[in-house]
Amino acid sequence: MVRRLPGRQPDGSRRSRLTRAISVAGLIVVALTLSACGGGPLSTIPQDGAPNERIWDVYWFLWIGAAIVFVLVEGLLVYTIFRFRRAPQTAHGRPVPVHGNTKLEILWTIIPAIVLVFIAVPTLQIIAELATPPERDGEEPLEVIVTARQFFFQFEYPELDIQTANTMYIPVGRVIDLKLRSGDVIHSFWVPRLAGKMDTIPGRTNEMWLTAEQPGTYAGECAEFCGVGHALMRFDVEAQTPEDFDAWVQEQLNPSTGGGEGEDGDLAARGQQLAQANGCVGCHSVDGAQSAGPTWQGLFGSEIPLASGETVTADEEYITNSIRNPGDQIHEGFSNIMPAFGPDQLSDEDVQAIIAYMQTLSEGDEASR
Ligand code: CUA
């Protein structure tokens, strides 16, 4: 009784609780909406100079248009509620039934049609504008062939003769001409902070372009449900200064063995490169971190518990079979989501190199035992 506010009806407590619940729910919705706009790694708020600034223009155009329509419709609704509420003196009477109103029906068909035309014009304009990669400062765009596979992205630089997976390296300020392909099913390539999204479709090549004005890491992901590993299909765009990018290109073309010596070291270094270029490391960490697939740290030579309940030793035979026929012997606790790598993708020598690389990831382990 003490807490009750003055003027509140005794039966008003239930209503006030409802009101409070509604305001709390409203606040949560507002908070969630604002946090989604806050500029996280997958925010669609564009970077300065990125092509999706133009998409953002359409967004604002639509948002303001929608706000005007909202105010008009809600205003009419509120006006109608108060203006035509049931008056006490007519409480006994019944409202006259209404059977259609031609004038109204024509109006509410034509007005939305006009609104749709207003939306379509700038949208189509910007789609056309963003279709062709522009030339900038007389520099040709850098072509990158993106191949989406279950469940990783591969990036090929035909002019540089480089292939990577999971991370796309680009120089800042340069237009990147993307050729989007699929190795299996439909995926969608999306780097929200830099550009719009585009599907990758088996049997065809889609084109889009992007630029990054500031160096940094931009998060990307597959935006089309493509199978059980869809949520794992993330990648990064690493935008570097032209000098850093050139250094990266040189490093890719002449990889240093990083401590390995002699033929074994060379083989392991090649294996490491293959593991990166083919996306292996997108799902298999090399430092023991949890990921979609078993970590490669300490894996070679260890005892693998299989989903079937058996145990196998991770020797050359097991690893080779797991690359060629990943569904054969599933590691307990992991899903059967890895694509098979046939001899056309990884030759027997390539598999040997990858195994040599995996062995280097187990050596430190053995030494500590
Ligand atoms: Cu690929 Cu979703």
What's the pLDDT at 54? 84
Which atom in ligand 1 lies closest to the alpha carbon of residue 185? 1
Give the number of the atom of ligand 1 that is nearest the alpha carbon of residue 233: 1
pLDDT tens digits, residue range 174-201?
Answer: 999 999 999 889 999 999 888 888 999 9
Where does ligand 1 bind, in terms of residues with CB under 6 Å? Answer: 148, 151, 187, 222, 224-226, 230, 233
Tell me what pLDDT residue 155 has: 93
Backbone angles phi and psi of 215, in degrees to 5: -65, 150
Residue 367: the pLDDT is: 44
CA pseudo-torsion sign 266, 267, 272, 277: positive
**What is the C-alpha separation between 369 and 366, in angstroms, rounded?**
5
Q: How many A from CA of 31 to the centre of ligand 1?
A: 29
Sorted by sequence, the CB contacts under 8 Å of residue 61 that are 6+ apart come out as 122
Residue 51: its pLDDT value, please?
76
pLDDT, position 248: 92
**Interval between CA 277 and ligand 1 midpoint (Å):** 18
- What separation in Å is there between the alpha carbon of 349 and the centre of ligand 1? 30
Give the amino acid at 321: N
Query: Can you list the residues of the chain whose pLDDT is less than 70?
Result: 1-15, 32-39, 49, 87-93, 255-264, 364-369
Q: How far apart are CA 155 and CA 176, in angstroms?
A: 12
- Say how many C-beta atoms besides its own lie within 10 A of residue 344's C-beta: 6
N residues, the chain: 369
State pTM to two decimals.
0.70
pLDDT tens by residue, 54-67: 888 888 988 998 99
For residues 178 and 207, the answer to whether their CB atoms sit within 8 Å is yes
Question: Which residues are registered as beta bridge partners of 239?
Answer: 170, 216
Rounded distance from Cα 38 to ligand 1 centre (Å): 25
Q: Say if CB 180 and CB 200 are below 8 A apart.
A: yes
